[in-house]
Structure 1
Amino acid sequence: MAYDEDLADRIRDILAPERGLTEKRMFGGLAFLIDGHMAVAASSHRGLLLRVDPARTDELLSPPDVGRFVMRGREMDGWLRVDPPAVDTEDRLTYWVGLGVDYVRTLPPK
């Protein structure tokens, strides 16, 4: 399944002013990296794959359309799956994308 190109364009518009931005196909979707760290991706399963501060994972799970990202059967702290209803407006999408960018900005550039 291909990623949602409209969602990728919306993410691209939000991230346009960010320095150190690159795009890369990852996890079957299109990832947006800041200084080499993936902040957010338009997922091949629809919605977002989002990187956040691992210490905030549980706190960010409260909306019904947000869950932990699961890789090879293992739930990953610091990685969220954000389903389409949670990014259906520009304000909501900007919020989630901002969380990913804010977290990766705390990491040293690769």
Structure 2
Amino acid sequence: MADDLAEQIRAFVGDDPNVGEIRMFGGTCFTLNGNMMVGTLKHGALLVRVGEEQEPAALALPGARRMDLTGREMKGFIMVAPDKLDDRAIESWIAMASRFVGPMPPKTGSARQK
């Protein structure tokens, strides 16, 4: 499941030289300029970094809930249920994450560039 979702994400981010990939949370984490943007989780959910400002709007979307992998919720990070991830939804989540992560200062050496 996570591998299929990663392939879908790759199709949307294309050949962007600012996007990298690292293994994380049992799936693949996609970074923008070295900053975590979206990722796949081993059970097929999408992990999205939206920031605290966009979080209320994100939580109102179908299948969304705050990230709680360790039993403790993390503000600004959203998990999206696999059954709510059609192509349109994935593209929309990537766009939301990009709006938050894009303005961040680049990190170096944190992700393998494609």
Report the TM-score range of the alignment, normalised by the length of the smaller protein: 0.7 to 0.9
Shift of 1:24: 0.4
The one-letter code sitting in structure 1 at the alignment partner of 2:11 is: D
TM-score by length of 2: 0.85
Structure 2: runs of 5 or more not aligned: 108-114
Cross-structure match for 2:111: none
Distance 1:52 1:14 in 2: 17
Runs of 4+ in 1 over 6 A off after TM superposition: none
The one-letter code sitting in structure 1 at the alignment partner of 2:95 is: G
8 Å CA contact 2:38, 2:97 repeated in 1: yes
Distance 1:45 1:80 in 2: 15
Q: Deviations over 1:32-83 (max 9, x none)?
A: 0111111000111212011002122122111341100014221111100011
Residue number among 37, 44, 59 corresponding to 2:35 in the alignment: 37
Cross-structure match for 1:10: 8
Higher relative contact order (CA 8 A, sep 6+): 2
- Aligned pairs for 1:1-110 (under 5 A) are 4-88=2-86, 90-110=87-107
Structure 1: runs of 5 or more not aligned: none
TM-score by length of 1: 0.88
8 Å CA contact 2:48, 2:79 repeated in 1: yes
8 Å CA contact 2:3, 2:27 repeated in 1: no
Select between 70-79 and 21-30 the one with higher mean Cα deviation.
70-79
The one-letter code sitting in structure 2 at the alignment partner of 1:91 is: R
Report how many residues are paired: 107
